Amino acid sequence: MGSLFAELARQASTNARREVETYTREIPEFGFLDKDPRARAEALEHALWFRRRTVELSPDNTELSGDDLDCIASMGELRARAGMSLDARQRVLRVHTELMLREINEATEAQRGGGVDELMRMMAWFAPQGERGIGAYRQGFVRVLRRRIPYTEQIALLTRSLLNGDPISAELAEAVDMELPDHYAVAVFRIPDRPTVDRFLESEIGALVKSHRAPVMWGPEGGDGSGELVALLPLFSGAVAAGDAPPHLVPDLLPDLTPDHLPDLVRDFAHALGRSCAVGTATAPLAELADALDRARRISRAAPLRRASARLRPHTLADVFVELAAADVPLVDDWLRTVARRLETGPDLLVTLDAYYRHDMHRGATATALNVHTRTLDYRLRRARDLTGIDPGSTRGVRTLSAVVTRHLSGAWRRTP
């Protein structure tokens, strides 16, 4: 055995103790090791075992055996049974890898610059076998989750792992029989009056997840009782509506186009929620879902609230970019709010303008949607012009009054003093 491997063998016990101490110090969920001598002994035994196997196998570049991988998987099962979260599990793997690399570096330095060949052999073994070991640990962890937690909680874990870029998502997806595509549409349902997540609602959501093959999770609850539901709709080849735009314009000029099947998902989930909500959506490759979630969340906050019985649709950046910009400029937003206050003095003017713009200013379709005569519609449009000095059918009217309506219906002005 070369000097590098001999040094690692001499330091194995010390390094194993340092790993366990680092876990208890840096990962709150490992605090129980200070109170449970048996669990601490098991953790120490596993850490020492892995270091000894590393020294035994790496000199000849021998792979971890099936029994070795089973042992590593059993540790993942043990951690899952102890209730460890996915975040803590990921930190454990990161800390373990960092410590192993540190130990190799320290052993190399102890040789005063020698053992370069041995170092290269060690690293050639460590990278692929470390990846196999981590995979076994994840599989053991997921096996326990699959047996012990309800289906909807497994789906929520999958959703969170995808949004966080956690590699365990592959094992979680396999456990719930879902295929992971390269791209997703992230849909955020903003719910001002968050429902109580009871068994009935969970059952409905679970059925929709299976129907649409779309992972979902509940987002954070606001202090005002608001909340959100986050859904990830898988995008496969041809999922974006062909008529939306020429293909060469999609990446740069029209981001986050609505996939063909997203409106169906929005309709079904909105009916399950049974209350007013606003939906924002953004598309992204698998590696960029966290950024897409942020975009979709901001879009949902700018989008108008609609009842579940209405024609609720997902909004993209192209739908509310004016309102997003206005929200970031108080001077502009205050002016739009002043215009809204003038319209509030008239009979149903904001509702009328909303219908008018949603029907592309078609008078007949708008009047039908409002269940009024076209003369009544014309009167209301004239009244809006008289109160604001802006003709709803003019270019200025479309630019200004459509933004006023959307900002009003989003509820943003009710959320601020």
Strands of 144-262 (E only): list them.
183-191, 216-218, 227-235
pLDDT over 90 for what percent of the chain? 53
d(CA 386, CA 21): 74
Torsion of CA 146, 151, 157, 161, to 10 degrees: 80
d(CA 140, CA 42): 16
Tell me the one-letter amino acid at 370: L
> What mean pLDDT is reported for the chain?
87
Domains parsed from the chain with CATH numbers? 3-148 (1.10.490), 181-320 (no CATH), 329-414 (1.10.10.2840)
What's the DSSP call for residue 178? -
Give per-residue pLDDT as tens, 92-149: 888 999 999 999 988 888 876 556 788 888 889 998 999 999 989 988 988 888 888 8
Give per-residue pLDDT as tens, 10-46: 999 999 999 999 999 999 888 888 888 888 899 999 9
Tell me the one-letter amino acid at 365: A
Give per-residue pLDDT as tens, 54-89: 999 999 999 999 999 999 999 888 888 888 888 888
The model scores a pTM over 0.85: no
What's the DSSP call for residue 245? S
d(CA 329, CA 86): 39
